[in-house]
Amino acid sequence: MSIPCEPKKAKLVISLFMKEKKNLLPVSERLESQFGPIDLVSSWLDFNFTSYYESEMGSPLFRRVLAFNSLINQEDLSLVKVFTNNIEKEYSENNKRLINIDPGYLLLERFVLASGKNFAHRIYIGEGIYADLTLIYQKGSFYNLPWTYPDYGAENMKAFLTVVRKKYKNTLNAKKQSL
C-alpha cells in the first residue's frame, strides 16, 4: 500500500520571451512583488527554434529565465499561471501579446511547465491549467522527452536549469540542517 506524503516545495522558474527587451524590467518587478525576490537570472537566450509566435509578437524574440528565491507548493502552479496570464493581457495591444510568460517549477528530478492547453502528456491541475512534464533529471543531467519544446531542450536552457537545481538542492539541504 502506498502511503501519502507531503510533496516537497518546488523552485519557481518563470521564462519570459518578448521582442521588446524594455518589457523585462517592469514585468520582472511585478513578478517579484507577487512571488518574492529573484535569485537567479539567465543571460538572454536565443529564441530561434520556432516561428510560431512571430505573427503575434514579431521577431526577433528574446528569452530571459528567472528563478525565485522562495519555494512554492507544487499545487499552486495553476494559480501562478493564472496570475501570469493576467500580466500577459495587460501587456497586449490589439489582442496581441507583447510578452509571453511561461511559469514552471523545478524539483530535483524534473522540470514542469504550466499550460492552458491540454495534450496527452499533460495533467490537469485546476483553474483551466495543465502541468507539462518538460524535462527529467537523471544521472547528472536534464533529459528531453519526446514532447519537450526545442527551446527548453536546448543546451543553454538545460545549463541554466542545472544551476537553478544546484541552488535549489542547497536550499533543501540547509532547511534539513536547520531542523
C-alpha dist (Å) from residue 73 to 45, 79, 150, 156? 27, 11, 27, 27
Q: What length is written for the chain?
A: 179
Residue 48 has pLDDT above 80, yes or no: no
pTM tops 0.85: yes
Interhelix angle for 77-90 vs 24-35, to 10°?
150
Domain ranges of the chain: 10-178
- In this prediction, residue 179 carries a pLDDT of 65
- Distance of alpha carbon 83 from alpha carbon 17, whole angstroms: 16
Q: Give the angle 61-27-45 at the CA atoms, nearest 5°.
A: 35
- In this prediction, residue 178 carries a pLDDT of 76
Q: What is the pLDDT of residues 8-44, one digit of tens each?
A: 999 999 999 999 999 999 999 999 999 999 999 999 8
